[in-house]
Amino acid sequence: MVVGLVVGKRQSRPCIVSDELWSLIEPLLPEAAPKLVEGRPRVPDRQALCGILFVLHTGIQWEYLPQELGFGSGMTCWRRLAAWNEAGVWDALHLVLLKRLRAANRLDWSRAVIDSSHVRAARRGPKADPARSTAHGRAASTTSSPTPRASRSRCR
């Protein structure tokens, strides 16, 4: 299940999704809507995925995805990423991969972290009391003075 760039050896393409990984991803992808107008043929999903991974791995801007790599345009890959995200593909893939790792006993829970921004607390804690004022009276203003001499305001 290898995805990535091969360092040292030259590949024909910089980012190739293995057959094993593709067999897990392909069933999760939504069906392509029929084209309403004639135009270029649709870029295959596997090539678009390679383009998405290339952009995410290298950090280049979508519009600078090289056409020579055969992944389609950056805009095509970006649209496909947005459509798959909206269809819940990434969440489903995450669950599939977790299930496979769990079945193979390959999950290392000693390095797991639970963050309250991602995991909702079961119950709310006690309400905090309102903060008390530290002074009994009104504090003196530091921006204006009531005496005419110290005040620069012409309005009195």
pLDDT, tens digit (0-9, with 9 covering 90-100), for 7-61: 444 444 567 899 999 999 999 999 998 888 888 899 999 999 999 999 999 999 9
Read off the tokens for 114: 């639970």
Average pLDDT score over residue span 113-140 = 68
For residue 100, pLDDT beyond 70:
yes
| pLDDT score recorded for residue 33 | 86
Q: Rounded to 5 degrees, what are φ and ψ at 17?
A: -90, 125
Among 84, 90, 77, smallest CA distance to 32 is for 84
**Rounded Cα gap, residues 142 and 82, in angstroms:** 53
Take residue 143 and report the two structure tokens written for it: 């921006």
Amino acid at 119: V
Residue 79 has, within 13 A of its CA and on its CB side, a CA count of: 10
pLDDT digits (tens, 9 = 90+) for 57-93: 999 999 999 999 999 999 999 999 999 999 999 999 9
Residue spans per domain, the chain: 69-108
